[in-house]
Chain A
């Protein structure tokens, strides 16, 4: 490592930061300069060969881009922002990363240590503001602490349950000199990133699974974060267990895996939602029983013996009481569990998922993906991208109807291929996250599905795409509404459309002004050709605007306050089914 040769040399804190980042293997930074971070940017000027800096248009964009980068690459995303408004603008992204366990190291400039507490220009209490939304926050006040803090930040961000770390970097510590003393951190006394796997707990879980007649797996992003995709598929194959994903677990299993039965949750698939309340054993892996997954908790899987594997002990029993809680890395746990369980098949039980999903296709999906007549529907567009792109693209979503439709109708062949803001539900996430995803893997097509509302929350990042020549494919599902809120207003607020109608700019002209290739589709027979054109060259930035049905709704839907078996098929009909006889 080149950085090793610099050990012991005296240099300013800003250079210690840059060299420590390089020692951590960082090659990309997303950021925005400003007063209190200028010494760092001045140093960065000399390191442009080694470090790629992506200049965004707003700090929120920098953080979401770093999230996209982290989710695709599996390595922490790095962000530079200045003090005060720079840091506060980053807050939304940091909170998003905390909810969705995304490893980030955010370095915010701060006024000099001697000015702290005096309401100096662009001073804010970054530590105080970020403590509740970070895995760790630390203020660097002396150049001597820079290397230590950086090494510690990366260790914390990427290990255990990943998450964002903020280093608030006082200006005097950026300028002041110290010896470069970087040393990687791989141990913190008060922190146990990966708990020791308990053989006994795995044995207990195996015994329960071996006795199961109707087992079911629900997995989440933990499978992706721990690289347990193969172990999960292996477990399902050996035990003949049907599995369903959470929103963030999407793409961990190949969509064509015979045991994959779709997504759970509010807009998930009927099969896994209904079967949650019919299974006898529920194995939850790397997921946290979010309320969008469980619906009303009091009726969730009451009949089932529940086994929960999660690396974060605070998640075990937090929402759903579990019979066996296994505090472990999902990969280690699944590998051992697969060894200990008996081979089994549950063909009839698996087929009962398929039956429900076939009903869903007949009653809902078919009409969404191939309506044949009428205005273009969102599902058709998502389906066209998966179909024409052969499920190879990284799919990024914004938040709202576009997100749910993307999740429902995209198909995947590779893990880390669906990026979305799950926990925080941050509108404006999509475009900058797609930028980060593209930077992390330029060889793949990166398609971001946005609504007209969400796109405009971070639309200035089109400038970043232009300047960095990033081949991001923006698919704008334009319905001139804040569609998801409009849907709720229609269903639950007596169609009182309070401030959800949008008057929009000419998105074609907007793309053109950024020099981004663009096209608009208003007719169904133009869609496939436009998608083919968009995907032809992964290096070309492109905005595809599709005028979709204005008052479309996302179904099926488990409405708020209802349980997982209370499924609306449309505004007036509920899913009716014959419950499996109790065994």
Chain B
């Protein structure tokens, strides 16, 4: 493992065009530097046709800055940003599968569900599936509390994040680019004429 002076969990958000191979293009930039992607989630964004990658990664400030710039350099990437936890509102979702008979026998289970603000998604004779949204430590805590009942399966999603900033920087970039497109088109038309 490379020695790192500073070790912060950064959330990188990447806005891209919808092109095949984008995920690969982004992930190899982390691979090159031997950086472990802690979580990853991909979805559409508020802007039509624009995809959003949310990547969590532990590293130091200099590295994440260089990584984000190298990501942004890829042709099909519109913009890339990085944030620390206090700059974003973020969330994860976790699912838990436990044996129904063990929870039916437990007097504390209802209280456990209420206290953790968990939801029951499915219940049958064999198993019960719970869902909890929250930060990693919260979903982890529920896992620990369910452990005595026997957790058959557990899965946690990558984090999704929204910035606390009042400015939508991607939208601003796209507006700027639209103006640039008009300028380029005018220049091209002039040349044709």
Question: In the complex, which residues of chain A have a beta carbon less than 8 angstroms from the beta carbon of B25?
Answer: 131
**Closest A residue to B68 using CB positions:** A314
In the bound complex, do residue A190 and residue B75 qualify as a contact, i.e. CB atoms below 8 Å apart? Answer: yes
Instruction: Tell me the residues in window 7-62 of chain B with beta carbons closer than 8 Å to chain A beta carbons.
Output: 16-17, 20-21, 24-25, 28, 32
A275 in the interface (beta carbon within 8 A): no
In the bound complex, do residue B184 and residue A186 qualify as a contact, i.e. CB atoms below 8 Å apart? Answer: yes
- Contacts known (A189-B78, A190-B17); A314 close to B73, Cβ less than 8 A: yes
1/0 contact string of B158-190 vs chain A (CB within 8 Å):
000000000000000010010011001100100
Chain B: minimal CB distance from A321 (Å): 9
In whole angstroms, how far apart are the Cα atoms of A136 and B21 in the complex?
11
B117 in the interface (beta carbon within 8 A): no
Instruction: State the interface size on chain A (CB cutoff 8 A).
Output: 22
Question: In the complex, which residues of chain B have a beta carbon less than 8 angstroms from the beta carbon of A189?
Answer: 17, 78, 174, 177, 181
- Contacts known (A127-B21, A314-B66); A191 close to B181, Cβ less than 8 A: no
B69 in the interface (beta carbon within 8 A): yes
In whole angstroms, how far apart are the Cα atoms of A135 and B78 in the complex?
15
In whole angstroms, how far apart are the Cα atoms of A156 and B75 in the complex?
8
Question: In the complex, which residues of chain A have a beta carbon less than 8 angstroms from the beta carbon of B180?
Answer: 187, 192
Chain B: minimal CB distance from A82 (Å): 22
**Closest A residue to B66 using CB positions:** A318
Instruction: State the interface size on chain B (CB cutoff 8 A).
Output: 25
A188 in the interface (beta carbon within 8 A): yes
Chain B: minimal CB distance from A202 (Å): 20
Question: In the complex, which residues of chain A have a beta carbon less than 8 angstroms from the beta carbon of B77?
Answer: 190
In the bound complex, do residue A132 and residue B28 qualify as a contact, i.e. CB atoms below 8 Å apart? Answer: yes
In whole angstroms, how far apart are the Cα atoms of A318 and B70 in the complex?
10
A494 in the interface (beta carbon within 8 A): no
Instruction: Tell me the residues in window 56-89 of chain B with beta carbons closer than 8 Å to chain A beta carbons.
Output: 65-66, 69-70, 72-73, 75-78
In whole angstroms, how far apart are the Cα atoms of A184 and B17 in the complex?
20
- Contacts known (A314-B70, A317-B65); A187 close to B75, Cβ less than 8 A: no
- Partner of B69 from the list A184, A190, A313 (CB cut-off 8 Å) is A313
In whole angstroms, how far apart are the Cα atoms of A192 and B32 in the complex?
24
In whole angstroms, how far apart are the Cα atoms of A194 and B59 in the complex?
30
Question: In the complex, which residues of chain B have a beta carbon less than 8 angstroms from the beta carbon of A136?
Answer: 75-76
Chain A: minimal CB distance from B98 (Å): 39
**Closest A residue to B67 using CB positions:** A314
- Partner of A312 from the list B17, B24, B73 (CB cut-off 8 Å) is B73
A139 in the interface (beta carbon within 8 A): yes
In whole angstroms, how far apart are the Cα atoms of A504 and B35 in the complex?
45
A579 in the interface (beta carbon within 8 A): no
1/0 contact string of A409-447 vs chain B (CB within 8 Å):
000000000000000000000000000000000000000
In whole angstroms, how far apart are the Cα atoms of A543 and B21 in the complex?
46
In the bound complex, do residue A313 and residue B72 qualify as a contact, i.e. CB atoms below 8 Å apart? Answer: yes
Question: For the complex, would chain B's binding face be called helix, strand, loop or mixed by DSSP majority?
Answer: helix
In the bound complex, do residue B69 and residue A314 qualify as a contact, i.e. CB atoms below 8 Å apart? Answer: yes
Chain B: minimal CB distance from A133 (Å): 10
Question: In the complex, which residues of chain B have a beta carbon less than 8 angstroms from the beta carbon of A131?
Answer: 21, 24-25, 28
A128 in the interface (beta carbon within 8 A): yes
A137 in the interface (beta carbon within 8 A): yes
Chain A: minimal CB distance from B23 (Å): 11
1/0 contact string of A109-143 vs chain B (CB within 8 Å):
00000000000000000011001100111010000
Question: In the complex, which residues of chain A have a beta carbon less than 8 angstroms from the beta carbon of B184?
Answer: 186-187
Chain B: minimal CB distance from A139 (Å): 7
**Closest B residue to A314 using CB positions:** B69
In whole angstroms, how far apart are the Cα atoms of A137 and B188 in the complex?
26
In whole angstroms, how far apart are the Cα atoms of A317 and B17 in the complex?
27
Question: In the complex, which residues of chain B have a beta carbon less than 8 angstroms from the beta carbon of A137?
Answer: 21
In whole angstroms, how far apart are the Cα atoms of A188 and B180 in the complex?
10
**Closest A residue to B25 using CB positions:** A131
Question: In the complex, which residues of chain B have a beta carbon less than 8 angstroms from the beta carbon of A156?
Answer: 75
In the bound complex, do residue B65 and residue A191 qualify as a contact, i.e. CB atoms below 8 Å apart? Answer: no
In the bound complex, do residue B75 and residue A128 qualify as a contact, i.e. CB atoms below 8 Å apart? Answer: no
Question: In the complex, which residues of chain A have a beta carbon less than 8 angstroms from the beta carbon of B66?
Answer: 314, 317-318
Instruction: Tell me the residues in window 564-579 of chain A with beta carbons closer than 8 Å to chain B beta carbons.
Output: none
**Closest B residue to A155 using CB positions:** B75
- Contacts known (A139-B20, A317-B65); A190 close to B76, Cβ less than 8 A: yes
In whole angstroms, how far apart are the Cα atoms of A317 and B177 in the complex?
25
In whole angstroms, how far apart are the Cα atoms of A136 and B74 in the complex?
8
Chain B: minimal CB distance from A548 (Å): 39
In the bound complex, do residue A190 and residue B16 qualify as a contact, i.e. CB atoms below 8 Å apart? Answer: yes
**Closest A residue to B183 using CB positions:** A187
Question: In the complex, which residues of chain B have a beta carbon less than 8 angstroms from the beta carbon of A188?
Answer: 75
In the bound complex, do residue B181 and residue A187 qualify as a contact, i.e. CB atoms below 8 Å apart? Answer: yes
1/0 contact string of A179-216 vs chain B (CB within 8 Å):
00000101111111000000000000000000000000
In whole angstroms, how far apart are the Cα atoms of A139 and B24 in the complex?
14
Question: In the complex, which residues of chain A have a beta carbon less than 8 angstroms from the beta carbon of B16?
Answer: 190
In whole angstroms, how far apart are the Cα atoms of A189 and B25 in the complex?
18
Most B C-beta atoms less than 10 A away, residue of A128, A135, A190, A192: A190
Chain A: minimal CB distance from B153 (Å): 30
Chain A: minimal CB distance from B174 (Å): 7
In whole angstroms, how far apart are the Cα atoms of A312 and B65 in the complex?
14
Question: In the complex, which residues of chain A have a beta carbon less than 8 angstroms from the beta carbon of B188?
Answer: 184, 186
Question: In the complex, which residues of chain A have a beta carbon less than 8 angstroms from the beta carbon of B76?
Answer: 136, 190
Question: In the complex, which residues of chain A have a beta carbon less than 8 angstroms from the beta carbon of B174?
Answer: 189
- Partner of A314 from the list B20, B28, B72, B78 (CB cut-off 8 Å) is B72
**Closest A residue to B32 using CB positions:** A132
Most B C-beta atoms less than 10 A away, residue of A136, A137, A191: A191
Chain B: minimal CB distance from A196 (Å): 9
Chain B: minimal CB distance from A298 (Å): 14
In the bound complex, do residue B72 and residue A191 qualify as a contact, i.e. CB atoms below 8 Å apart? Answer: no
Chain B: minimal CB distance from A116 (Å): 12
In whole angstroms, how far apart are the Cα atoms of A131 and B20 in the complex?
11
Most B C-beta atoms less than 10 A away, residue of A187, A313, A318: A187
Instruction: Tell me the residues in window 217-233 of chain A with beta carbons closer than 8 Å to chain B beta carbons.
Output: none
Question: In the complex, which residues of chain A have a beta carbon less than 8 angstroms from the beta carbon of B69?
Answer: 313-314, 318
In the bound complex, do residue A313 and residue B181 qualify as a contact, i.e. CB atoms below 8 Å apart? Answer: no
**Closest A residue to B174 using CB positions:** A189
Chain B: minimal CB distance from A546 (Å): 41
Question: In the complex, which residues of chain B have a beta carbon less than 8 angstroms from the beta carbon of A139?
Answer: 20
In whole angstroms, how far apart are the Cα atoms of A110 and B76 in the complex?
23
**Closest A residue to B20 using CB positions:** A139
> Residues on B close to A: CB < 8 A?
16-17, 20-21, 24-25, 28, 32, 65-66, 69-70, 72-73, 75-78, 174, 177, 180-181, 184-185, 188
List 12 A-B pairs, Cβ < 8 Å: A131-B21, A135-B75, A186-B188, A187-B181, A187-B185, A188-B75, A189-B174, A190-B17, A192-B177, A312-B73, A314-B70, A317-B66
State the 3 A-B residue pairs at the shortest beta-carbon distance, nearest first. A314-B69, A190-B78, A136-B75
Having A187-B180, A190-B16, A314-B73, one finds 10 other A-B pairs with CB under 8 Å, namely A128-B21, A131-B24, A184-B188, A186-B184, A189-B181, A190-B77, A192-B177, A314-B66, A314-B72, A318-B66
